[in-house]
Protein backbone atom coordinates (compact mmCIF):
# COMPACT_ATOMS: atom_id res chain seq x y z
CA UNK A 1 0.00 0.00 0.00
CA UNK A 2 2.74 2.46 0.96
CA UNK A 3 4.65 1.70 -2.24
CA UNK A 4 1.48 2.18 -4.29
CA UNK A 5 0.88 5.55 -2.64
CA UNK A 6 4.41 6.67 -3.47
CA UNK A 7 4.20 5.60 -7.11
CA UNK A 8 0.67 6.82 -7.86
CA UNK A 9 0.39 9.78 -5.48
CA UNK A 10 3.87 11.19 -4.76
CA UNK A 11 2.24 14.57 -4.12
CA UNK A 12 -0.23 13.28 -1.51
CA UNK A 13 0.49 13.99 2.15
CA UNK A 14 -1.49 10.88 3.07
CA UNK A 15 1.44 8.74 1.96
CA UNK A 16 3.43 9.23 5.13
CA UNK A 17 0.32 8.60 7.24
CA UNK A 18 -0.34 5.35 5.39
CA UNK A 19 3.22 4.21 6.11
CA UNK A 20 2.83 5.04 9.79
CA UNK A 21 -0.51 3.23 10.01
CA UNK A 22 0.97 0.14 8.38
CA UNK A 23 3.90 0.13 10.80
CA UNK A 24 1.55 0.46 13.75
CA UNK A 25 -0.62 -2.39 12.44
CA UNK A 26 2.48 -4.55 12.13
CA UNK A 27 3.57 -3.71 15.68
CA UNK A 28 6.59 -1.77 14.45
CA UNK A 29 7.88 1.53 15.75
CA UNK A 30 6.90 4.68 13.89
CA UNK A 31 9.75 6.72 15.34
CA UNK A 32 11.83 6.66 12.10
CA UNK A 33 8.92 8.34 10.32
CA UNK A 34 8.35 11.05 12.91
CA UNK A 35 10.83 13.50 11.40
CA UNK A 36 9.37 12.98 7.92
CA UNK A 37 5.87 13.61 9.25
CA UNK A 38 7.00 16.80 10.96
CA UNK A 39 8.52 18.08 7.72
CA UNK A 40 5.36 17.12 5.84
CA UNK A 41 3.19 19.04 8.27
CA UNK A 42 5.39 22.14 8.04
CA UNK A 43 5.40 21.99 4.27
CA UNK A 44 1.63 21.49 4.14
CA UNK A 45 0.98 24.48 6.40
CA UNK A 46 3.25 26.66 4.28
CA UNK A 47 1.57 25.40 1.12
CA UNK A 48 -1.86 26.34 2.46
CA UNK A 49 -0.59 29.84 3.25
CA UNK A 50 0.88 30.23 -0.24
CA UNK A 51 -2.30 29.17 -2.01
CA UNK A 52 -4.27 31.58 0.17
CA UNK A 53 -1.98 34.39 -0.95
CA UNK A 54 -2.60 33.49 -4.58
CA UNK A 55 -6.36 33.51 -4.07
CA UNK A 56 -6.34 37.09 -2.77
CA UNK A 57 -4.17 38.34 -5.63
CA UNK A 58 -0.77 38.37 -3.93
CA UNK A 59 0.71 36.47 -6.84
CA UNK A 60 4.39 37.40 -6.48
CA UNK A 61 4.34 36.55 -2.78
CA UNK A 62 2.66 33.24 -3.57
CA UNK A 63 5.21 32.42 -6.27
CA UNK A 64 8.13 33.12 -3.96
CA UNK A 65 6.63 31.03 -1.18
CA UNK A 66 5.75 28.08 -3.43
CA UNK A 67 9.30 28.04 -4.79
CA UNK A 68 10.71 28.29 -1.26
CA UNK A 69 8.61 25.32 -0.14
CA UNK A 70 9.93 23.22 -3.01
CA UNK A 71 13.53 24.25 -2.35
CA UNK A 72 13.17 23.54 1.38
CA UNK A 73 11.00 20.41 1.33
CA UNK A 74 11.62 18.61 -1.98
CA UNK A 75 11.35 15.25 -0.22
CA UNK A 76 7.76 15.91 0.91
CA UNK A 77 4.47 15.46 -0.92
CA UNK A 78 3.49 19.03 -0.04
CA UNK A 79 6.75 20.26 -1.53
CA UNK A 80 5.93 18.50 -4.80
CA UNK A 81 2.42 19.95 -4.78
CA UNK A 82 3.94 23.37 -4.21
CA UNK A 83 6.25 23.02 -7.20
CA UNK A 84 3.40 21.91 -9.45
CA UNK A 85 1.26 24.83 -8.22
CA UNK A 86 4.22 27.12 -8.84
CA UNK A 87 4.26 25.99 -12.46
CA UNK A 88 0.51 26.45 -12.86
CA UNK A 89 0.67 29.95 -11.39
CA UNK A 90 3.48 30.82 -13.81
CA UNK A 91 1.21 29.69 -16.66
CA UNK A 92 -1.57 31.89 -15.34
CA UNK A 93 0.88 34.81 -15.34
CA UNK A 94 1.91 33.99 -18.93
CA UNK A 95 5.48 33.22 -17.85
CA UNK A 96 5.51 30.24 -20.14
CA UNK A 97 9.25 29.63 -20.46
CA UNK A 98 9.66 29.44 -16.70
CA UNK A 99 6.60 27.21 -16.39
CA UNK A 100 7.94 24.90 -19.07
CA UNK A 101 11.18 24.40 -17.14
CA UNK A 102 9.22 23.62 -13.97
CA UNK A 103 7.06 20.92 -15.54
CA UNK A 104 10.03 19.55 -17.48
CA UNK A 105 11.91 19.12 -14.19
CA UNK A 106 8.90 17.46 -12.53
CA UNK A 107 8.68 14.91 -15.34
CA UNK A 108 12.43 14.27 -15.32
CA UNK A 109 12.49 13.77 -11.55
CA UNK A 110 9.36 11.74 -11.00
CA UNK A 111 8.61 9.83 -14.19
CA UNK A 112 11.23 7.16 -13.34
CA UNK A 113 9.59 6.46 -9.98
CA UNK A 114 5.94 7.45 -10.53
CA UNK A 115 5.16 7.32 -14.27
CA UNK A 116 1.41 6.87 -13.79
CA UNK A 117 0.98 9.54 -11.14
CA UNK A 118 -1.22 12.57 -11.54
CA UNK A 119 1.83 14.73 -10.85
CA UNK A 120 3.70 13.37 -13.87
CA UNK A 121 0.81 12.98 -16.30
CA UNK A 122 -0.60 16.42 -15.58
CA UNK A 123 2.87 17.88 -16.06
CA UNK A 124 3.12 16.16 -19.45
CA UNK A 125 -0.19 17.69 -20.51
CA UNK A 126 1.02 21.11 -19.40
CA UNK A 127 4.25 20.69 -21.38
CA UNK A 128 2.31 19.81 -24.53
CA UNK A 129 -0.03 22.78 -24.02
CA UNK A 130 2.88 25.16 -23.44
CA UNK A 131 4.56 23.97 -26.63
CA UNK A 132 1.31 24.65 -28.46
CA UNK A 133 0.96 28.11 -26.96
CA UNK A 134 4.56 28.81 -27.93
CA UNK A 135 3.77 27.95 -31.57
CA UNK A 136 5.91 24.82 -31.40
CA UNK A 137 3.10 22.85 -32.98
CA UNK A 138 5.05 19.84 -34.24
CA UNK A 139 6.62 19.27 -30.82
CA UNK A 140 3.26 19.75 -29.13
CA UNK A 141 1.60 17.21 -31.39
CA UNK A 142 4.41 14.73 -30.74
CA UNK A 143 3.95 15.21 -26.98
CA UNK A 144 0.23 14.48 -27.21
CA UNK A 145 0.95 11.46 -29.40
CA UNK A 146 3.35 10.12 -26.77
CA UNK A 147 0.62 10.37 -24.14
CA UNK A 148 -1.90 8.69 -26.44
CA UNK A 149 0.45 5.77 -27.03
CA UNK A 150 0.98 5.23 -23.30
CA UNK A 151 -1.22 3.30 -20.92
CA UNK A 152 -2.63 6.27 -19.05
CA UNK A 153 -5.92 6.83 -17.19
CA UNK A 154 -8.84 7.76 -19.40
CA UNK A 155 -8.91 11.47 -18.57
CA UNK A 156 -5.36 11.98 -19.81
CA UNK A 157 -5.98 9.85 -22.89
CA UNK A 158 -9.12 11.82 -23.79
CA UNK A 159 -7.40 15.17 -23.30
CA UNK A 160 -4.38 14.13 -25.34
CA UNK A 161 -6.55 12.77 -28.15
CA UNK A 162 -8.71 15.89 -28.43
CA UNK A 163 -5.86 18.37 -28.07
CA UNK A 164 -3.61 16.35 -30.35
CA UNK A 165 -6.23 16.41 -33.09
CA UNK A 166 -6.63 20.15 -32.66
CA UNK A 167 -2.90 20.84 -32.86
CA UNK A 168 -2.53 18.72 -36.00
CA UNK A 169 -5.46 20.58 -37.57
CA UNK A 170 -3.82 23.89 -36.69
CA UNK A 171 -0.53 22.79 -38.29
CA UNK A 172 -2.24 22.36 -41.65
CA UNK A 173 -4.39 25.48 -41.28
CA UNK A 174 -1.21 27.50 -40.72
CA UNK A 175 0.33 25.98 -43.83
CA UNK A 176 -2.78 26.79 -45.84
CA UNK A 177 -2.79 30.37 -44.57
CA UNK A 178 0.88 30.67 -45.53
CA UNK A 179 -0.03 29.57 -49.07
CA UNK A 180 1.89 26.33 -48.65
CA UNK A 181 0.50 23.25 -50.38
CA UNK A 182 -1.49 20.90 -48.16
CA UNK A 183 -2.14 17.56 -49.87
CA UNK A 184 -5.48 15.80 -49.56
CA UNK A 185 -3.80 13.07 -47.50
CA UNK A 186 -2.95 15.64 -44.83
CA UNK A 187 -6.60 16.58 -44.36
CA UNK A 188 -7.51 12.90 -44.27
CA UNK A 189 -4.96 12.47 -41.50
CA UNK A 190 -6.63 15.27 -39.57
CA UNK A 191 -10.01 13.64 -40.05
CA UNK A 192 -8.76 10.30 -38.82
CA UNK A 193 -7.39 11.93 -35.68
CA UNK A 194 -10.73 13.67 -35.16
CA UNK A 195 -12.62 10.40 -35.55
CA UNK A 196 -10.25 8.69 -33.13
CA UNK A 197 -10.69 11.51 -30.62
CA UNK A 198 -14.47 11.32 -30.86
CA UNK A 199 -14.34 7.57 -30.27
CA UNK A 200 -12.02 7.96 -27.27
CA UNK A 201 -13.80 10.86 -25.56
CA UNK A 202 -16.66 10.11 -23.18
CA UNK A 203 -18.17 13.58 -22.59
CA UNK A 204 -20.73 14.77 -25.16
CA UNK A 205 -19.07 18.18 -25.42
CA UNK A 206 -15.67 16.64 -26.18
CA UNK A 207 -17.19 14.31 -28.75
CA UNK A 208 -18.90 17.32 -30.32
CA UNK A 209 -15.65 19.29 -30.45
CA UNK A 210 -13.88 16.41 -32.17
CA UNK A 211 -16.70 16.05 -34.70
CA UNK A 212 -16.76 19.81 -35.27
CA UNK A 213 -13.08 19.76 -36.23
CA UNK A 214 -13.85 16.88 -38.57
CA UNK A 215 -16.63 18.95 -40.15
CA UNK A 216 -14.53 22.10 -40.39
CA UNK A 217 -11.67 20.26 -42.08
CA UNK A 218 -13.78 19.91 -45.23
CA UNK A 219 -13.99 23.70 -45.44
CA UNK A 220 -10.22 24.03 -45.51
CA UNK A 221 -10.12 21.34 -48.20
CA UNK A 222 -12.79 23.22 -50.24
CA UNK A 223 -15.18 20.26 -50.14
CA UNK A 224 -18.29 22.35 -49.63
CA UNK A 225 -20.81 19.65 -50.46
CA UNK A 226 -19.23 17.49 -47.75
CA UNK A 227 -19.47 20.45 -45.37
CA UNK A 228 -23.22 20.61 -45.97
CA UNK A 229 -23.68 16.84 -45.62
CA UNK A 230 -21.50 16.46 -42.52
CA UNK A 231 -23.03 19.57 -40.98
CA UNK A 232 -26.50 18.07 -41.25
CA UNK A 233 -25.22 14.83 -39.74
CA UNK A 234 -23.66 16.75 -36.86
CA UNK A 235 -26.92 18.57 -36.13
CA UNK A 236 -28.78 15.27 -36.13
CA UNK A 237 -26.34 13.60 -33.74
CA UNK A 238 -25.79 16.45 -31.26
CA UNK A 239 -28.84 18.06 -29.70
CA UNK A 240 -28.20 18.36 -25.95
CA UNK A 241 -27.69 21.60 -24.03
CA UNK A 242 -24.04 20.79 -23.27
CA UNK A 243 -23.14 21.28 -26.93
CA UNK A 244 -25.01 24.50 -27.74
CA UNK A 245 -21.92 26.37 -28.91
CA UNK A 246 -20.81 23.46 -31.07
CA UNK A 247 -24.31 23.12 -32.55
CA UNK A 248 -24.37 26.82 -33.38
CA UNK A 249 -20.98 26.68 -35.05
CA UNK A 250 -21.98 23.57 -37.01
CA UNK A 251 -25.13 25.39 -38.10
CA UNK A 252 -23.01 28.22 -39.48
CA UNK A 253 -20.70 25.78 -41.27
CA UNK A 254 -23.67 23.92 -42.76
CA UNK A 255 -25.10 27.15 -44.11
CA UNK A 256 -21.75 27.99 -45.69
CA UNK A 257 -21.60 24.54 -47.25
CA UNK A 258 -24.93 25.06 -49.00
CA UNK A 259 -24.04 28.65 -49.89
CA UNK A 260 -20.83 27.76 -51.69
CA UNK A 261 -22.46 25.05 -53.78
CA UNK A 262 -25.10 27.55 -54.88
CA UNK A 263 -28.01 26.17 -52.85
CA UNK A 264 -28.98 29.51 -51.38
CA UNK A 265 -32.52 28.59 -50.35
CA UNK A 266 -31.19 25.60 -48.40
CA UNK A 267 -28.52 27.78 -46.79
CA UNK A 268 -30.86 30.49 -45.51
CA UNK A 269 -32.48 28.62 -42.59
CA UNK A 270 -29.06 27.84 -41.14
CA UNK A 271 -27.95 31.48 -41.22
CA UNK A 272 -31.30 32.49 -39.72
CA UNK A 273 -30.68 30.09 -36.84
CA UNK A 274 -27.21 31.55 -36.27
CA UNK A 275 -28.70 35.01 -35.91
CA UNK A 276 -31.52 33.77 -33.68
CA UNK A 277 -29.04 32.02 -31.41
CA UNK A 278 -26.62 34.91 -31.20
CA UNK A 279 -28.05 38.15 -32.62
CA UNK A 280 -25.12 40.30 -31.62
CA UNK A 281 -22.27 39.02 -29.52
CA UNK A 282 -22.90 36.45 -26.84
CA UNK A 283 -22.29 33.06 -28.39
CA UNK A 284 -18.88 33.28 -30.05
CA UNK A 285 -16.82 35.68 -27.92
CA UNK A 286 -13.58 33.82 -28.69
CA UNK A 287 -13.75 34.59 -32.43
CA UNK A 288 -14.79 38.30 -32.18
CA UNK A 289 -18.34 37.36 -33.29
CA UNK A 290 -16.96 36.65 -36.75
CA UNK A 291 -19.44 33.87 -37.42
CA UNK A 292 -22.40 36.09 -36.55
CA UNK A 293 -21.20 38.92 -38.80
CA UNK A 294 -20.67 36.54 -41.68
CA UNK A 295 -24.09 34.95 -41.08
CA UNK A 296 -25.71 38.38 -41.51
CA UNK A 297 -23.83 38.94 -44.76
CA UNK A 298 -24.56 35.47 -46.14
CA UNK A 299 -28.24 35.82 -45.32
CA UNK A 300 -28.40 39.19 -47.10
CA UNK A 301 -26.63 37.63 -50.08
CA UNK A 302 -29.01 34.64 -50.13
CA UNK A 303 -32.05 36.92 -50.10
CA UNK A 304 -30.72 38.92 -53.05
CA UNK A 305 -29.64 35.87 -55.04
CA UNK A 306 -32.99 34.09 -54.58
CA UNK A 307 -35.14 37.16 -55.24
CA UNK A 308 -36.28 37.24 -51.64
CA UNK A 309 -37.51 40.16 -49.61
CA UNK A 310 -35.36 43.21 -50.21
CA UNK A 311 -36.96 44.86 -47.21
CA UNK A 312 -35.76 41.98 -45.06
CA UNK A 313 -32.27 42.19 -46.60
CA UNK A 314 -32.06 45.91 -45.90
CA UNK A 315 -33.25 45.39 -42.34
CA UNK A 316 -30.50 42.79 -41.82
CA UNK A 317 -27.98 45.25 -43.26
CA UNK A 318 -29.06 47.93 -40.77
CA UNK A 319 -28.83 45.43 -37.91
CA UNK A 320 -25.36 44.36 -39.02
CA UNK A 321 -24.24 48.01 -38.97
CA UNK A 322 -25.83 48.58 -35.57
CA UNK A 323 -24.25 45.59 -33.86
CA UNK A 324 -20.97 45.59 -35.78
CA UNK A 325 -20.26 49.13 -37.05
CA UNK A 326 -16.68 48.22 -37.98
CA UNK A 327 -17.45 44.87 -39.56
CA UNK A 328 -15.44 43.95 -42.63
CA UNK A 329 -18.64 42.44 -44.05
CA UNK A 330 -20.51 45.76 -44.30
CA UNK A 331 -18.93 46.64 -47.70
CA UNK A 332 -19.76 43.17 -49.01
CA UNK A 333 -23.36 43.54 -47.87
CA UNK A 334 -23.53 46.97 -49.53
CA UNK A 335 -22.24 45.48 -52.76
CA UNK A 336 -24.95 42.80 -52.68
CA UNK A 337 -27.59 45.46 -52.05
CA UNK A 338 -26.21 47.79 -54.71
CA UNK A 339 -25.55 50.54 -52.19
CA UNK A 340 -23.03 53.06 -53.41
CA UNK A 341 -20.95 55.10 -51.02
CA UNK A 342 -20.05 58.63 -52.08
CA distance 6 to 20: 13
CB-based burial, 122-132: b 16+ in 10 Å, e otherwise: bbbbbbbbbbb
Least confident of 1-10, 13-22, 239-248: 1-10
Distance CA 290, CA 13 (A): 48
Domains and CATH numbers, the chain: 149-222 (no CATH), 234-342 (1.25.40.10)
Region of poorest pLDDT, from 92-96, 245-249, 289-293: 289-293
- Residue 2 pLDDT class (50, 70, 90 cuts): very low
Give the pLDDT confidence of 111-145 residue by residue, as tens digits: 999 898 999 999 999 999 999 999 999 999 999 99
In the predicted structure, residue 41 carries a pLDDT above the cut 90: no
Q: What is the pLDDT of residue 292?
A: 87
pLDDT, one tens digit per residue, over 106-118 is 999 999 998 989 9
pLDDT band with cut points at 50, 70 and 90 for residue 3? very low
Specify the pLDDT at position 21.
60
Amino acid sequence: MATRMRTLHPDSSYGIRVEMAMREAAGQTTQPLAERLERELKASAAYDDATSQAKVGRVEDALKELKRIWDTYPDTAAGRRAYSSYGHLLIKERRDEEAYEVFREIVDLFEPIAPQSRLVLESKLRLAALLHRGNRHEESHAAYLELMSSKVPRYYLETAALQGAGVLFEIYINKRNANQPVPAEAWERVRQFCKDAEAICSKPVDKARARLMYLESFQWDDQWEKVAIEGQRFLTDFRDEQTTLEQATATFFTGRGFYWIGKYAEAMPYFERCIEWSPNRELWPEVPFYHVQRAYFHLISCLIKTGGSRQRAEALYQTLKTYFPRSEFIPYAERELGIRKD
